[in-house]
Chain A
Amino acid sequence: MTDNFASSRRRRRRALRAAAPAAGLLAAGLLVWQGSYAAFSATTDNTDDVWTTGTLVLTNNGGGAAYAATTTATFNEVGFKPGATGTKCITVKSAGTAVGALKFYESALADSTPSLGAQIKLTVDAAPVASDVLANCTGFPASGLTNVATSVALTALPTTYAAAASSVAVSSGTQLVAYRIAYTFTTTGSTAGDNALQGKTATAAFTWEIQ
C-alpha cells in the first residue's frame, strides 16, 4: 500500500465523516418540511366533507344490518301508556387507529308540556361484542357489561361528552360495542297527571362519541 493511496483514502473518509451529520440534519429538515406542508398548508377548502377520508370512523347500525354515521329511530313507539316497557339494541363500530373512551349521551331532546320525557326512564348497558347485535338484542352478552344509566329520565340524561360519566375503552382497529337500551314509561303517580300526557310526543337523539 503506497503512501499516496493511503492519503487519498484518508481524505475520502474525512469527507464522508463530515457529510454524515449534514445528511442527518438534512433528513430531519426534509421530514419536518414535508410533514408541515402536508398538514398545515392545505387551507383553501373548508367544507365538512373534504376531510372524511381518514381512518377514525365511528358508525352505528341503528339496530339494523347497515352502518352509518347517523341512523334514525331505533325506537318508534306510538300509542303507548304508563307501564309500557321495551328493549332495543344498537351496535357502534369504531374503525381506525384511535384509542379512546366511547361515551353515550343525549344530543337533542324535543319534549312536550307537560313533560313526557320525564316519565320515560332509560336503563342503558354496553358491552364489547364480536359481531353485530341487531335491534332485537339477539347475541347481546349477559356478562361483562358496562352500566351507562339506570332508570334515568330522558330529561336527566347527560347532554355532552364531558358530562357522560360512564365510558367504554376502545382500542385501535375495528371494534364493536353493543348498547342495550331499555325504557320504562313510568306513571306520574296520578291518573290526572298521566291523562295530561295523552297525545304527547318526546323525541330524543343519542350520540356516541370517542375522545
Chain B
Amino acid sequence: MTAVLTAGRTTAPPPSEEGGGRLRLVFGLIGRAWLWFVVGCLLVTLVPLVFGWRPYVVQSGSMEPRISVGDVVLASPVTDREHLLGRVTVFEAPDDAGKVITHRVVRFDGSAMVTKGDANATVDSAAITMGNVRGLGRLLVRWVGLPLLWLQTGQWLWLLLLAASLLASAVAIARDQEEK
C-alpha cells in the first residue's frame, strides 16, 4: 500500500508545473476570497458592538424586499424619537413582552408611534412608545444570521455545507502557497 502511494506521488507533476499549479492557484484564490468575505461580514457585525450597537437576526419576511430572513440588523441606541419617523426601528412588541420586531415607524399618533412591516398591507395592531424602542437600524449585514437560524431550525445540511466550504477553502489555501 505504501509502495503504491509513493509510486503515485512520483508520477504526479511537481507543484510548480503548469497544469496542476494553475488549478491549485485558482482554488487558492477562491478560498482566500471566500474566507475573507466571511471574515469581513463578521467584522462588520461585531465591531459596532464596541459602540453600543446591538445585532438582531431578522426572523420573518415582513420587511421584504429590503430586509430578508437571516439578515442581521445593527441598531444604535436612540433617544430622540424624531429620528425614528420613516426609519427602520427595532422594538419590543408592546403586547408580547420579549418579542423583538424590526419594522418601520410610519407615523406618530400622539405620544405613540405606529409601525408597519414594509411587506405588510396594514400597520401593526399595537402602537409603540419610546419605552418599547431598542434601537434605530443603521447597518444591514445580509445572510450573516442564517447559520443561527439553521441551527435553531435544525437545517443541518446547510450548516454542513457552510462548514465544508470553509474547510475546503482552508485546504485550498494551504495547498497554494508561495513557491520557494
Please tell me which one of the listed residues B36, B63, B119, B122 contacts residue A39 in the complex, with CB atoms under 8 A apart: B63
Contacts of A44 in B (CB 8 A): 86
* Contact flags B100-131 to A (C-beta < 8 A → 1, else 0): 00001111000000001111111101100000
- Our pick among A28, A40, A42, A46 for the contact of B40 (Cβ within 8 Å) is A28
**A165 to B: closest C-beta gap in Å:** 13
Chain A nearest CB from B141 CB (Å) reads 5
Contact A39 B37 (CB under 8 A): no
Q: Is the CB of B36 within 8 A of A21?
A: yes
- Binding-face segment, A47-55, A149-157, A177-185: A47-55
List B contacts of A45 (CB < 8 A): 86
A23/B33 in contact, CB under 8 A: yes
**Which residue from chain A places its CB closest to the CB of B29 in the assembled complex?**
A20
Q: Is the CB of B121 within 8 A of A57?
A: yes
A29 touches B44 (CB 8 A): yes
A35 touches B33 (CB 8 A): no
Q: Please, what's the 1-or-0 string for A8-20, where 1 marks a CB less than 8 Å from any CB in chain B?
A: 0010011011001
A36 with B106: CB separation less than 8 A: no
Task: Report how far A53 CA is from B120 CA in the complex, Å.
Answer: 8
Q: Size class of B's contact patch?
A: 35 or more
Give the residues from 30 to 68 in chain B that come closer than 8 angstroms, CB to CB, to chain A. 30, 32-41, 43-44, 60-68
Contact partners of B166 in chain A: CB under 8 A: none
A-side interface mostly: mixed
**Contact A51 B69, CB 8 Å, known A39-B88, A46-B106, A161-B96:** no
Chain A minimum-CB-distance residue to B17: A1
A37–B66 Cα gap in the complex (Å)?
A: 10
Name which residue of chain A comes closest to B141, CB basis. Answer: A32
The 0/1 profile, CB within 8 Å of B marked 1, for residues 134-170 of chain A is 0000000000000000000000000011110000000
Out of B37, B71, B96, B179, name the residue touching A25 (CB < 8 Å): B37
Residues of chain B from 61 to 106 with CB closer than 8 A to chain A in the complex: 61-69, 71, 73, 85-88, 93, 95-96, 99, 104-106
A100 and chain B: residue at smallest CB distance: B60
Q: Is B40 a contact of A56 with CB atoms below 8 Å? A: no
- Check B120 against A24 for contact (C-beta < 8 Å): no
A16 to B89 Cα, complex, angstroms:
42
In the complex, residue of chain A having the shortest beta-carbon distance to the beta carbon of B142: A35
Chain A: residues with Cβ within 8 Å of the partner, total of 54
B residues in contact with A211, CB < 8 Å: 60, 93, 96, 99
Q: Hey, which chain B residues are within 8 Å of A69, CB to CB?
A: 121-122
How far apart are the CA atoms of A40 and B139 in the complex, in Å? 8
- The smallest C-beta distance from A45 to any residue of chain B, in angstroms, reads 7
Whether A107 touches B141, Cβ cut-off 8 Å, given contacts A51-B118, A96-B61, is no
CB-CB under 8 A for A32 and B44, given A40-B140, A43-B87, A56-B119: yes
Closest 9 CB pairs of A and B: A54-B119, A28-B40, A24-B36, A97-B61, A46-B86, A20-B32, A56-B119, A24-B37, A35-B140
B residues with CB within 8 A of A: 16, 25, 28-30, 32-41, 43-44, 60-69, 71, 73, 85-88, 93, 95-96, 99, 104-107, 116-123, 125-126, 137-142, 176, 178-179
A-side residues, CB < 8 A to B, are 6, 10, 13-14, 16-17, 20-25, 27-29, 31-32, 35-36, 38-40, 42-48, 51-59, 69-70, 96-100, 107, 160-163, 172, 207, 209, 211
The 11 sampled A-B contact pairs (Cβ below 8 Å) are A17-B29, A17-B178, A24-B35, A32-B139, A35-B141, A36-B139, A40-B87, A43-B86, A46-B85, A51-B106, A97-B69
